[in-house]
Amino acid sequence: MRERIVATARGLFAAEGFQSVSMRKVAAEAGCSPMALYGYFRNKNELLRHVWEQFFDPLFASVAEAAATAATPQQRLRAMCQAYLAYWLAHPDQYRLVYLNDDRVEDGEVFYAHLPETTNRHAVFSEAIAACQAAGEIAPGDKTAKGEALLCMMIGVAHNLITVSEHRWSPGPQLLDVMLDGLFAQRA
């Protein structure tokens, strides 16, 4: 039932928008009572986060797979970034569901971005930057800030390619290479 609820919510959120879908509607479409639904998820935001997990698990699996195929720190970081961007470009509806919906918290909750699983997943980029710094391929500096800036840039590229698709952008991999070339140009 839990999987059916998450799948139902995912479809409804994508089709109608997160804000437009009520927990009652999710329950009705999933074939359970609202009370049963609240037995699985205490609120709609918790349900949304479970939907997001269905996206982040394969996303970071592809990032890890890309990292494993590279020989040097620079190749590793480039491959990781390409995998990250490629995932969102291949799944634009999932991107919209994650990045065009506000994460909200209620009493006792923590923002999704602050959960240890989330920060640990995204820290792979900071660690890859640290490896590039150790190899003299990226200038010294705060690896966390550089990793966060890198994520902002990748999400920005994905955001524009997905949400402003009528513009004739350069291909995503090319935009990413230009961005990474700037990062690597600042060598130690």
Q: Are 104 and 32 within one domain?
A: no
- Say yes or no to pLDDT of 132 above 60: yes
Q: Residue 187 has what pLDDT?
A: 65
CATH number, domain of 120, equals 1.10.357.10
Average pLDDT, the chain: 92
Within-domain flag for 46: no
What is the number of structural domains in the chain? Answer: 2
Closest CA to 90 of 113, 58, 121: 58
Average pLDDT on 166-172 reads 95
Would 94 be classed as within a structural domain?
A: yes
Assess whether 8 and 75 both reside in one domain: no
Report, as an integer, the average pLDDT of 164-182. 94
Q: pTM for this structure?
A: 0.88
pLDDT digits (tens, 9 = 90+) for 79-125: 999 999 999 999 999 999 989 887 777 778 888 888 888 889 999 99
pLDDT for the residue 188: 52
Q: What is the DSSP string of 49-95?
A: HHHHHHHHHHHHHHHHHHHHT-SSHHHHHHHHHHHHHHHHHH-HHHH
pLDDT tens readout for residues 22-56: 999 999 999 999 999 999 998 888 898 888 888 99
Residues 116, 69: Cα–Cα separation, whole Å:
26
Range of the domain at 68: 53-185
Q: What is the CATH number of the domain that holds 10?
A: 1.10.10.60
What does the pLDDT average to over 167-183? 94
